[in-house]
Homo-oligomer: A and B are copies of this chain.
Amino acid sequence: MPRTIEFYYDFGSPASYIAHCRLKSVAARTGAIVELIPILLGAVFKATGNASPIECPAKGRYVAVDLMRFAARDGVPFASNPHFPINTTRLMRAATALRGDPGYARYVDFAFDAMWHFPRNLGDPAEMAAVLTNAGFDAEAVAARAASPEVKDALRATTDVAIARGVFGAPTMFVGDEMWFGQDRVDWVEAAAA
């Protein structure tokens, strides 16, 4: 039976983008199923007392170099986003609304690409609508669903479950109960999923 890799992500996290790209080849090699689970990284930081690496300027500069190194090594097209930081709440709510929809994975791909490949200002609702349209969705209908109390609650609940499991940042990956954090742990995840 193929293993499942639970992948907790936020589109605002460039390390999540790189891990997402790398996990596609992991899935191809191992047959593992990657479950894409949207969370609100800001809420994770608030609940755990963690902070973005950019809060420490020296670490932020290093992490930018480090991400470029991984992207180059792994052949992931990557550009730092000049519009960063971008509030991703609407994007993550749309992801939550689309979970289970056959086009969900396509939306995740397009949103990650728009954030860390092209890169666009996805804090702008028009840019988000363009991503949804490109991914084959009725942007207005998805935005309406994403703004519903049910979807807001579902995203909050998913984030709370992640925190309860020990998540303190993104990306965080689980195979069973084993947890790994960061784009630099995808090799370990692959070994566990193989």
Q: Are B49 and A56 in contact (CB under 8 A)?
A: yes
Q: Are B62 and A56 in contact (CB under 8 A)?
A: no
Q: Which residues of B contact A166 (CB under 8 A)?
A: 58, 61-62
Chain B residues, CB < 8 A from A62: 166, 168, 179, 181
In the complex, per-residue mask of A31-42: 1 if CB is within 8 Å of any chain B CB, else 0: 000000000000
**Minimum CB distance partner of A73 in chain B:** B188
Spell out A's residues near B (CB within 8 Å).
Answer: 48-50, 55-59, 61-62, 65-66, 69, 163, 166-169, 179, 181, 184, 188
Select from chain B the residue with minimum beta-carbon distance to A178.
B65
Flag if B59 contacts A169 (CB, 8 Å). yes
Output the nearest chain B residue to A181 by Cβ-Cβ distance. B62
20 A-B Cβ contacts within 8 A? Answer: A48-B57, A48-B58, A49-B55, A49-B57, A50-B56, A50-B58, A56-B168, A58-B163, A58-B166, A58-B167, A58-B168, A59-B168, A59-B169, A61-B166, A62-B166, A62-B168, A62-B181, A65-B179, A69-B188, A184-B184
Taking the closest CB of chain B, its distance from the CB of A169, in whole angstroms, is 7
